[in-house]
Amino acid sequence: MSLNALFPKLSLPLRGLQLLRSRTLTASSRPYGAVAQARSVLETELESIRVAGTWKGERVITSKQGAHISVDGSSGDILNFCANNYLGLSSHPEVIQAGIEALQNYGAGLSSVRFICGTQDLHKKLEQKLAQFHEREDCILYASCFDANAGLFEVLLGPEDAVLSDELNHASIIDGIRLCRAKRLRYKHMDLNDLEDKLKESQSSRLRLVVTDGVFSMDGDVAPLVGICDLAEQYGALVFIDECHATGFLGIRGRGTDELLGVMDRVHIVNSTLGKALGGAAGGYTVGPKPLIDLLRQRSRPYLFSNSLPPPVVGSATRAVELLLASNEIAQSMAAKTMRFRNGMTQAGFTIAGAAHPICPVMLGDARLASLMADDMLKLGVYVIGFSYPVVPKGKARIRVQISAAHTDSDIDRTVDAFIQTGRKHGVIS
């Protein structure tokens, strides 16, 4: 919650409050009234999070990201099962080397947005490779996929248009849609009948855009893209997918959910991230029709008003994409590992949501239980994290396990054994 939301009447930005506080403390030992009030409101809010058991602590990793990591406060080698490092490329030697070379040849950063003096040939090269990878006309880079989602809808859709969005879409899509002036219709999660109703309801709109995550990150479920594309074609709508949890490893060549479901030529716009399977550094992008990408370069606010991606990040991501363009071996290596984990856990009596995706949510229900179990897993040398409200709905707390191509079979078996031990201790399984 923002401070302005807390104090609609005062409407003081945080920096202003900090300044007031430091001035007041030097001028007098008495705290300035508004600051004391702000502290009290904030402390109450923080306490309510603690009491609800939904406090999100941050464990500190003291090594590279990878399947095996070091964690501050825990001794020895820790198995990491909660990164979005689906292909293990975050610490791939060639990806690291490409980052080092880009740093040496192109510097630490651009100190500029793209259209002033922030475009290097390496940004153009990565955009070209990503367009090639997704088999789309063009690509535009952003500092993150959050930005790509924040910057797209407002540019494409006006008040005469409509956006039809799955109710469980990622927060950044929801925020991006809030910024646009199109008519907003939210359809029930993956419900094609409800989507059709909303398409009928919006028939008078100029452009209509169906918006869905390709894979939903909390449940690991895959959007019914064939049905969505059928309906979109029937009612004359465009289709957008967010591929953050699919790019690089779903589909025979790792191109994503659209490849997996055979609809690459029927999905019009794709947003995705460089911060997960594609090297894990940072950055996001949109691929799609050239006129759309051209217009985004002119009008998309997170692109126009935010710094260019740093050269080392671009260098590493480019190498990651090149590795995937050259071979589908890494992308394919993950499916068997995912099934090994899912089968082991299901046989032990756990409920795992989703199907056949490396996001394997171990469903527990209670927020505190999820958090306690995650702590106990770490004591057994396995780093996993409990997810609870507001990240997932109330009563649907879970530990979200994520499989990586970098995990070995024995890493997976060790983790299943640790879950069995911890699950028995907490009465989750018998």
Positions that interact with ligand PLP (CB under 6 A): 144-146, 149, 170, 172, 213, 217, 242, 244-245, 273, 275, 284
* Nearest Cα residue to 288 out of 148, 382, 177, 394: 148
The reply to whether 245 belongs to the active site is yes
Least distance to ligand PLP from the beta carbon of 215, Å? 8
SS3 of 386, please? strand
- Of 96 and 145, nearer to ligand PLP (C-beta) is 145
Give the span between the Cα atoms of 423 and 376, in whole angstroms: 10
Q: What's the number of CA atoms in the CB half-sphere (13 Å) around residue 3?
A: 16
Least distance to ligand PLP from the beta carbon of 283, Å? 7
Alpha-carbon Rg for the chain in angstroms: 23
Which of the residues 198, 276, 337, 407 is marked catalytic? Answer: 276
- Of 161 and 242, nearer to ligand PLP (C-beta) is 242
Give the span between the Cα atoms of 257 and 288, in whole angstroms: 15
Least distance to ligand PLP from the beta carbon of 257, Å? 11
Q: Three-class SS string for 239-262?
A: EEEECCCCCCCCCCCCCCHHHHCC
Helices (H) and strands (E) in the chain, counts: 18, 15
Which of the residues 217, 300, 371, 404 is marked catalytic? Answer: 217
Least distance to ligand PLP from the beta carbon of 214, Å? 8
Q: Do β-strands 68-69 and 78-80 pair in parallel, antiparallel, or remain unpaired?
A: antiparallel
- Of 165 and 205, nearer to ligand PLP (C-beta) is 165
Token output for 333: 């290596």
Least distance to ligand PLP from the beta carbon of 217, Å? 4
The reply to whether 276 belongs to the active site is yes
Tell the residue number behind the tokens 């004591």, with chain if given: 379
Exposed/middle/buried for residue 220 (C-beta within 10 Å: 0-12, 13-18, 19+): buried
- Of 212 and 338, nearer to ligand PLP (C-beta) is 212
Give the span between the Cα atoms of 163 and 208, in whole angstroms: 6
Least distance to ligand PLP from the beta carbon of 174, Å? 10
The reply to whether 217 belongs to the active site is yes
**Which residues are the active-site residues?**
217, 245, 276
